[in-house]
């Protein structure tokens, strides 16, 4: 048998195998050529080709996505900005900024008719009832919603709510004293204690009743699920980097995720309904909103959707700052001593600790600012989309369709913005600051975001953080437990994944 006749007598399954291998080979070659073609385009012809950044990041979104998946995106951004400067091309269609001017250009007010980046529609989606929240609404709906809710977050409202904050801060102190009285060597996880307090406060404001976390010293499953969903939501969210897969994945997995979201949402609906049916004479969100002219246009759907925002935006963030600041104070005993002297010197009793009294404490304010700089509760950027006309950011023309983000941690840990950026030095925020801090770029620090869509609860958050921290320091001496020595080495899944912060608190007064 000559070799030339061999193919004729090959069994059919071998012929199939050969055809199949050819098809696979063809596919591999096609994918490889496509990848090379895309890589060449993105490196040499793409509108973002002249922006600095690692070549691999310009070619593919995989390195950025991988770091999000591993919870290391915050560190990657610090590193890339350190190496490449104030603007970095972090993936083919995405630019990251750590220059203070980007706050105004991305988040700030623009003149009427001037194009501006919008909140990225892939990231900012409506609530489960398909109603947009204050955070996700387009600019027009946002302005209306913001007007409605601003009554509940005004200075006047805060003054009316003062007693409520004091009540929960006192309960926190009471619980810690109780634990100490049971066991003088007690070790307390302050992350939990701060979360219990901030969730109870916000629940009282939004549902007219606490979640009783402080009373029971235990999370309820609804709260645990919030923490879990922040992590899984951040991981699952990477699919947005492949828009066509995103649509497909939404269709395929819609039901699984949907069911969990429905259960979570229903909890808010039931509690808001219960609060409205019961009525209340307290200065909670609903009394302040519904009694004002603007609030009468609010639909039930909007009430439910926005409550979910308040219960996340107004709780975890504040507890995060308190946990981070407590950690840095414990790592810097000289700062803690100075702060304790200020607080204990200013007040004689709990009743003295008022909004006005706390606002006068300059060193407390400096410590809060430095805590927000070192450990911003929202450490990464909030994705915005450049409109088709393009915009100017930090003096550069940015073409339409680009995703842009202002990175918080990378902004605050840059020596271009702050001297000794990785050191916790509250003095930099005071008039007694060393000369080298005179050139600190204070405007770079915007932990509550910037412009018309900045944090609505900023004043509330400052008061809450002040009163809780002041009462803790007024009543206790604190020590960090050894196991929490490296507490700040954490992953970020949109928000910090906080480890337990184990501390020993010893009462200094009855």
Summarize as ranges the residues that interact with ligand HEM (CB under 6 A): 134-135, 146, 309-310, 313-314, 317-318, 321, 377-378, 382, 447-449, 453, 455-457, 460-461
- Nearest distance from residue 79's CB to ligand HEM, in Å? 22
Smaller CB distance to ligand HEM: residue 312 or 394?
Answer: 312
Cβ closer to ligand HEM: 42 or 384? Answer: 384
Beta-carbon count within 10 A of 286 CB: 22
**Quick one: 58 or 445, whose CB is closer to ligand HEM?**
445
> Minimum distance between the CB of residue 37 and ligand HEM, rounded to whole angstroms?
36
Measured between alpha carbons, how far is 399 from 229 in angstroms, rounded to an integer?
A: 34
CB of 142 to ligand HEM, least distance (A): 6
> If you count them, how many residues does the chain have?
510
* Cβ at position 35, least distance to ligand HEM in Å: 34
Question: What is the smallest separation between the CB atom of 59 and ligand HEM, expressed in angstroms?
Answer: 29
Residues 149 and 205 sit within 8 Å (Cβ to Cβ)? no
| Token pair in block for residue 288 | 């302040």
Asked if 62 and 372 count as a contact pair (C-beta separation under 8 A), the reply is no
- Minimal distance, residue 178 CB to ligand HEM, in Å: 26
State how far the Cα of 107 lies from the Cα of 182, in Å rounded to an integer: 50
- How much of the chain is helix, strand and coil, in % rounded to 5? 60, 10, 30
Residues in Cβ contact with 141 at an 8 Å cutoff, skipping those fewer than 6 apart: 132
Task: Please give the backbone phi and psi of residue 206, each rounded to the nearest 5 degrees, phi first.
Answer: -100, -30
Q: Using CB positions, name the residue nearest to ligand HEM.
A: 457
Distance CA 164, CA 283 (A): 9
Paired residues of 396 in beta bridges: 393
Of 318 and 414, nearer to ligand HEM (C-beta) is: 318
Please return the burial class of 16, using the count of CB atoms within 10 Å of its CB with bins 0-12, 13-18 and 19+: exposed
For residue 229, count other CB atoms closer than 10 A to its CB.
16
Minimum gap (Å) between residue 103 Cβ and ligand HEM: 11
Element (H, E) at 118: strand 118-119
Chain centroid, CA 317 distance in Å = 7
CA-derived radius of gyration, the chain: 26
Toward ligand HEM, which CB reaches closer, 71 or 381?
381
Query: Which one, 203 or 484, has the nearer CB to ligand HEM?
Result: 203
Beta bridge partners of 503: 188, 480
Q: Of 57 and 453, which has the nearer Cβ to ligand HEM? A: 453
Q: Measured from the CB of residue 455, what is the shortest distance to ligand HEM in angstroms?
A: 3
| Residue with smaller CB distance to ligand HEM, 86 or 142 | 142
- In the structure encoding, which two tokens stand for residue 409, read together? 């941690």
Distance CA 318, CA 229 (A): 18
When the beta carbons of 361 and 372 are compared against ligand HEM, the nearer one is 372
Please, which contacts does 183-186 make with residues 24 or more away whose CB atoms are closer than 8 Å?
185/504, 186/504, 186/505
Number of Cβ within 10 Å of residue 380's Cβ equals 23
CB 325 within 8 A of CB 367: yes
Least Å distance, CB 136 to ligand HEM, is: 8
Q: How far is the CB of 159 from ligand HEM (least distance, A)?
A: 16
Q: How far is the CB of 434 from ligand HEM (least distance, A)?
A: 27
Q: Which is nearer to ligand HEM, 54 or 451 (CB)?
A: 451
Q: Give the separation between CA 454 and CA 456, rounded to whole angstroms.
A: 6
* E strands, 159-271, in order: 188-189
The smaller minimum CB distance to ligand HEM, of residues 344 and 365, is found at 365
Residue 317 or 407 with smaller CB distance to ligand HEM: 317
**Min separation Cβ 242 and ligand HEM, Å:** 22
């Amino acid at each position: 048998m000559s070799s030339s006749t061999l193919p004729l007598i090959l069994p059919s399954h071998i012929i199939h195998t050969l055809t199949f291998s050819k098809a696979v080979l063809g596919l591999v070659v096609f994918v490889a050529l496509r990848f090379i073609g895309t890589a060449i385009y993105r490196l040499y012809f793409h509108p973002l080709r002249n922006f600095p950044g690692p070549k691999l990041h310009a070619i593919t979104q995989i390195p950025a996505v991988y770091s999000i998946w591993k919870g290391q995106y915050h560190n990657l951004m610090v590193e890339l900005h350190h190496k490449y400067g104030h603007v970095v091309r972090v993936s083919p269609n995405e630019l990251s900024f750590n220059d203070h001017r980007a706050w105004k250009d991305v988040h700030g007010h623009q003149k009427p008719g001037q194009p501006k980046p919008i909140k990225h529609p892939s990231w900012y989606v409506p609530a489960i009832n398909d109603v947009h929240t204050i955070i996700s609404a387009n600019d027009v709906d946002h302005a209306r919603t913001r007007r409605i809710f601003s009554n509940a977050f005004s200075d006047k409202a805060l003054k009316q709510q003062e007693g409520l904050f004091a009540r929960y801060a006192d309960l926190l102190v009471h619980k810690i004293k109780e634990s100490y009285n049971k066991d003088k060597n007690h070790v307390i996880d302050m992350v939990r204690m701060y979360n219990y307090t901030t969730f109870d406060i916000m629940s009282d404001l939004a549902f007219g009743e606490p979640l009783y976390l402080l009373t029971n010293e235990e999370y309820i499953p609804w709260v645990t699920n919030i923490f879990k969903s922040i992590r899984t939501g951040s991981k699952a969210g990477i699919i947005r980097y492949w828009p066509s897969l995103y649509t497909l994945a939404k269709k395929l997995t819609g039901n699984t995720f949907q069911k969990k979201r429905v259960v979570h949402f229903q909890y808010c609906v039931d509690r808001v309904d219960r609060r409205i049916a019961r009525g209340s004479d307290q200065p909670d969100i609903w009394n302040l909103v519904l009694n004002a002219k603007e609030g009468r246009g609010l639909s039930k759907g909007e009430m439910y959707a926005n409550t979910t925002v308040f219960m996340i935006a107004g709780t975890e963030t504040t507890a995060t700052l308190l946990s981070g600041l407590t950690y840095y104070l414990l790592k810097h005993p000289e700062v803690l001593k100075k702060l304790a002297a200020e607080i204990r010197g200013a007040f004689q009793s709990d009743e003295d600790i008022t909004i006005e009294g706390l606002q006068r404490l300059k060193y407390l304010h400096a410590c809060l600012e430095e805590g927000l700089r070192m450990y911003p509760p929202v450490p990464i950027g909030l994705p915005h989309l450049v409109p088709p006309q393009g915009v100017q950011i930090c003096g550069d023309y940015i073409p339409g369709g680009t995703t842009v983000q202002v990175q918080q941690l990378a902004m605050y840990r840059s020596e271009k913005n702050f001297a000794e950026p990785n050191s916790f030095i509250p003095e930099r925020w005071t008039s007694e600051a060393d000369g080298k801090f005179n050139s600190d770029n204070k405007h770079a620090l915007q932990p509550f975001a910037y412009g018309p869509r900045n944090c609505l609860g900023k004043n509330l958050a400052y008061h809450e953080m002040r009163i809780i921290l002041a009462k803790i320091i007024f009543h206790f001496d604190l020590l960090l437990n050894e196991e929490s020595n490296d507490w700040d080495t954490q992953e970020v899944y949109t928000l910090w994944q906080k480890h337990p912060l184990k501390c020993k608190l010893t009462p200094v007064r009855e």
